[in-house]
Structure 1
């Protein structure tokens, strides 16, 4: 059995779930985790953030339920309203980070979201991935080179297909997959304890 964690780096609910996901991975080191990027803001949904008028109310609810904080630099982005979230660029970045350290994908996904939601950094900017790589002790030049490679684009597209094929239509979604069988452990919000109880039932 393995876990399949489908998230979008620009999804506030995925950011809220990141601490629980990190705790789940810590509690179950023998369970492989496949981290898959979703495509929340692609195509026609790549518009200035001001067009998503619900963002601040949603963030308040996320903070209340999960305890995560949204940093001052991110708040300034929201207030300005011109920033465009591009899930394709974020998925390429996640692919580059996975290439550098596949066994740390859960941690790196969380770091990617902190870069945006705390530090207000663009996930389309190679400098963001250089910073994440350096903080994680990875080869920063290698990560930036991977980000710019055709392989990263192919991996991002494969992630979007994978998310669709397993029927994920909302982020985050955590699945337990064993062969052809899959069970939903979390969708939108869950605590590590709640996920553990479901894992115990199916394990």
Structure 2
């Protein structure tokens, strides 16, 4: 069995789901998890955060359900409502990190979301990827260069196309692939126990 985690680094619910995914991976070492960027804020949805309405209310609900905290740096970044979340840039960054350490992408995607939702670092800024890479012991210059390279834009678009092909339109969505069957085992929010039960049911049914 393998899992496909379709998320968006700029999605609050994806941020809330990160500890659940980390615990799932901890319980199942060696589990193959592919991380795909969904492209939530692209095209006409790439607008200042102030246009999204009650962001604080939504974040409070995410904190209440998942236990994640939104940091002071993030609150400062979005305070005046002018910050633009660009999911294409975030997907390029995920692609750069995935290229640098494919077997650590779950951990790196979580670190990337913390950089934004805790520290208030823009995912459009190469310095953010440099910092995440450095903290993870990766070649910081290489990751920052990969983020800016045309190949990362190609990879980001490939992720968006993959998301569409998988029929995913809600983030995060965790898919389990067993043989020729692909089943959603979590959409938005689920506990590790719930996900494990669904994975076990899929294995049993195969």
Name the TM-score class by shorter chain.
Answer: over 0.9
Whether 1:184 aligns to 2:160 is no
Farther off after superposition, 121-130 or 76-85: 76-85
1:58-103 C-alpha deviation (Å, 9 max, x unpaired): 1000000000000011111222111000000000000000000000
CA distance in 2, matches of 1:31, 1:116: 27
Give the corresponding residue for 2:201: 201
CA distance in 2, matches of 1:146, 1:77: 25
Which portions of structure 1, spanning 4 or more consecutive aligned residues, are displaced by more than 3 angstroms?
A: none
- The total of aligned residue pairs comes to 203
1:2-22 C-alpha deviation (Å, 9 max, x unpaired): 100000000000000000011
Whether 1:8 aligns to 2:15 is no
CA distance in 1, matches of 2:101, 2:26: 16
Give the corresponding residue for 1:22: 22
Q: For the Cα contact (< 8 Å) 2:178–2:202, is it kept in 1?
A: no
How far apart are residue 148 of structure 1 and its match? Answer: 1.3
Whether 1:42 aligns to 2:42 is yes
Give the corresponding residue for 1:84: 84
1:104-143 C-alpha deviation (Å, 9 max, x unpaired): 0100110110000000000000000000000000000110
CA distance in 1, matches of 2:37, 2:78: 23
- Equivalent positions of 1:122-141 (< 5 A) are 122-141=122-141
1:119-178 C-alpha deviation (Å, 9 max, x unpaired): 000000000000000000000011011111111111000000000000001000000012
Q: Find the residue that maps to 1:6 and give its secondary structure.
A: strand
Give the corresponding residue for 1:74: 74
Farther off after superposition, 187-196 or 122-131: 187-196
- Equivalent positions of 1:114-129 (< 5 A) are 114-129=114-129
In angstroms, what is the RMSD of aligned CA positions? 0.8
Q: Which runs of 5+ in 1 are unaligned?
A: none
Give the corresponding residue for 2:108: 108
- Equivalent positions of 1:47-58 (< 5 A) are 47-58=47-58
TM-score w.r.t. structure 2 length?
A: 0.96
Q: Which runs of 5+ in 2 are unaligned?
A: none
TM-score w.r.t. structure 1 length?
A: 0.98
